[in-house]
Structure 1
Amino acid sequence: MKININPLLLIFAIALLVSCSSIKNSAETNNRNDKITNALDAVFIDYTPTIPETKYQVFRAEKDGNSGWMNVDGEWIITPEYDTEFKRDWSEGVVTCRKDGLYGAVNYKNEIVIPFEYPFPPYECEDGLILVRDSLRQEAYFSKLGVQMTDFIKRQVEFINGFAVIRTNRERYASYPRINSENKNARTDIYKGDFVVVNTQFDTLLQFDNVPFLLEFGTLNNNRRTFFLYPFMGLHADIGISYGQYGYLDRNGNIAVEPKFRASDVFTPLAQGFVRLPDCPFNSNLAKVREGDDYYFIDTLGNEKFEITTHRERLYDVSNFNDFGIAGYRTFGKVANSSMIHLIDSTGAIVHEAYESDAPMSTGGGAIGHQPRKEFIPIYDMKNGVFRLNAPDFSPFASFPIKDSSTLTNFQYRGFLGNRISDNFILTQFKKTKNSYGYPGSHQRLIDQDVNAKSSWFSFKSILSSKFGNFTLVDSTSMTTTLYDFDKNVLFECDSCFFHYDFKYNLKGVYKVHLANRDLAYVNYKGKILSDLFDSAEKDIYDLSNQVKTFNELTPHQLNAKEEEFEELFNTSIMYSRIMK
């Protein structure tokens, strides 16, 4: 049977269906928007961060097949015009690059300091100097301002802490007792020769003729610079220095403390020889001195202030003082895994000691250490169930419970925003309940030193940045992830994507995002995609702030002590009496 359908009725039916569908879609959309709004309303933020300086927080990035350096604000510091296959780290505000197969260097201002005409990469900048090799493998020094300081020759002298020792006319002079546990009669050659000491401007500061000793210098700190005076031996330099003695110069290069300390005591013996520590610096006007197995601290006049003693089996890892007069060391007992941490003040009095397993110096799950920090000093007191946060002078600052037994919840604390008490202090707190999974916890929030909440609890797999004021929320209906600032403004949004919650750049304002098409995006704290290819994703973001601050500090070091003073010190030392002519 044939059915006749009225065309007007058909049009009305279709319109009704479309209308109903639209109402349904509109209702779903409204429900989703209500859900997001409610989620945002649940986010309470009582904190306005001071965004860290980001201009010179830089990473290597690619564009159109070339590489350059970009900061986390998305600004090119070094334009992308260099070969991607060659990578080099920053040093003193300068980075080596390769362009069209030839090497050169640019500074943080994007100025060329070494022209791109060399077949070998220049060395890293040290003491304001860059060592360059030409096509004949000859070497010359350039300053980091781009000035060629020397001619190209076969081999340039090495600078250490702003000084170089240039030796000439070496002749065998006598023999010297050699440290050898198997043969106490072992000898080694000692030489006489000429040498000069120059600074990074190649000024001659000292000139010695036909002497049996050498000099080397450390860093300047607390108006004191270590200097080593040692026999001119025919062994590796580190071994030669280990036979010497050391003292201290003042800022002007005058002798402040005579070289009365055995240099061998700043060496660590190994099977193949010795490894020299880089320096014996002063900090908080105290310097660590070791005589055999004994440690003590001296003041800037060379007077002994106090010795480190212990009743336990072994003393180990004595640190230098931090800038606030706190030092640390470890001791070990007869029982395995019985190491203890001890912290002392500038008088030698113990301000903290505990077994490392009971109270490690750690932010919770981090590396156990004993070296006091120059910012906050964290003690994770597992024995007493408290996380103690101390100021750099170890005065109490805040304490937090590790566990809430009433709710079977464990807490961990990390993510300091402030380095000083005067900073706006924020800490990230993680919680892990009995039934939650994941490490270190299932949720996190921001708190201050009084345990006042500055945010609601977030899923641990969400971005929650106290430094940059960001957080992410996921709409489980549409699988849309949105990055907000703490004023709840949308910064970045993507469908079927997720933010990498434990990516190491998060604390530097860069977030790695896994997109729906399996591509990666690197988004900064403002929601800007930084580059198509973030080619240093597994490397560091370099903080050039200090390198920029000190870039033009090219004041050459000076020495006011005279040649006669060093010669007299050597001739009256125990080193001289050991020479066997």
Structure 2
Amino acid sequence: MISCKPNKAELNSAESQTYKRISGNKTWGFVNQNGDTIIPLNKYKFLNPIDEEGMILAENNGKRGYINITQDTLIPFKYDDLSVFSNGLAPAELNRKHGFIDRKGKVVIPFEYENESHFYKCGLARVRKNNKYGFIDKTGKVIVPIEFEKVRDNKADELVCAMKNGKWAFFSCDGKRLTDFEYDKITEVSYNDRTNTYFKKGLCRVEKNGQLGYINSNFETIVPFGKFDIAEPYQNNLAIVSKNGKYGIIDSLGTLIIPLKYDLIEHPAIYSNIFAEFLTNDSGKYGLLDSNGDILLENKYKEIIWDRLKRGENQQKYFIYKENGKFGAINTKGEIIIPFEYEQLSNFKYRDFTIAKKNDKFGVINSFAETIIPFEYNSINCNERKQWCNLLILEKDGNVGLADLKGQLKIPSIYQEISPCFYDETNRFIVKKNNFFGIIDIDENIIIPIEYNEISNWVEYGPDEHFVTKNKKKGLISREGKIVIPPIYDEILVDNSKLIKVKKNSLFGTINWKNEIVNPIEYEQILWEWPYLSYKELDTIYLKKNGKYFTTDTKGKVLEQKVSAKLIDEKFGYLLN
């Protein structure tokens, strides 16, 4: 049953507040601007942001529905899947069939289709029935017959496409076929962060009988099929083409505005983020054209690096290259934004600072080329393994310290090495001093005494604890500095939560996590199946003594007095041979 809406006073009270989603324990809730809980956690597995009509898509007990901020049920929780509204309708799934409902929960389009879809630019939705595709309008009327192998639409173009017998054709929004089924491929390009387009970036690249060509929005062939060996999709009304190994650029009329003279032309890209500019290669020397095809840099550079940097709240594209033996950077207009005065210049990587080298010393500059940390260090590194960092490791005259991005020293330069602990990269650090290792926090509190020959950091499939070595003996210490296994063993192997294999004086044994001996240290070999690969808890230990194997359980109780060499070879031959 759908509840009534809140009264006017309640509604006005709710509208005067602002709300923020929160999550925890794999559930979602809402708080208001004061941090007061409005919808508590541990009730809804999922809550979408509040939409323009004050409705919240929610999931509860494996079913989806809609509520408001006062938790009135607006659309009952009976749907296996339910999505957001577009054009007044939301796609829903019930008993493995898909249809559409309105904001009152009324079924507008019956549950008879095999896929979820939305209404986009054309006001049509893609539907599948009996494994065939077509389009319907918001009343459920079939506009493009449900008889095709594939269909496509997007949020930018007022047209759709359908495939028949492996060939594509274009259709209008009212279902009229605009072309024959003649194209092997039709290429979409990115229009913005949310959708693609066929024609809004220039001509549409299509393929016919294995040859590429371009058509305009009237479906006229502008660039004949096979004219170019390589024909890239359009970006900003320009496209890269190639013939006989030479590259050029054509405009939206198909005219060459950059002749076929380069060995290569490409758009720089960071993952799927494609630059509008063109990188050119002529006889191994790189140059740069702007988004209009005008020259930014002549082809005389060994390397041009592209990236993004942050200035204020904005991200800007830029290019690093070497001029007269020094590195600097320009923006997409060709303006110098980082002067050419550095022997090394690291990528900003979307940040507002980077590490540079000047007069044979390292320092840190911001995106306006202002010095943050002076150029007086032998090396500077970010404090972690990820793309982003907020602390810098500084090395000067053989000593290492830690500074923040304002240049303020957080840990003085009195250590031989500093390395962030992988589990807390901004607060815990493995340090080396007087050739010994330990762990300190950002306030220089000692967590693990600086007295070990080795301390592990991240270990693949390893335990939470740190492996330590002292006087050539190995042990385990917790992240809080508690000795779990004292460093008294020649070797230790940790790959499960029950037993640890240890080695002493060339013989093996096992201990539990309380450092209690389970299997005495008197065996020539100890083997077990690695739980990570066997997908089961450790239960059987294979021990070798006087050349013969037997088994025990994880508490040391004998299971089998004798185990065949064949079984050992089958289970552990990959380790022993």
Report TM bin, short chain: 0.3 to 0.5
How high is the TM-score relative to the length of structure 2? 0.40
Q: Which has the higher contact order (CA 8 A, sep 6+)?
A: 1
Larger strand proportion of the pair: 2
How high is the TM-score relative to the length of structure 1? 0.40
Larger helix proportion of the pair: 1
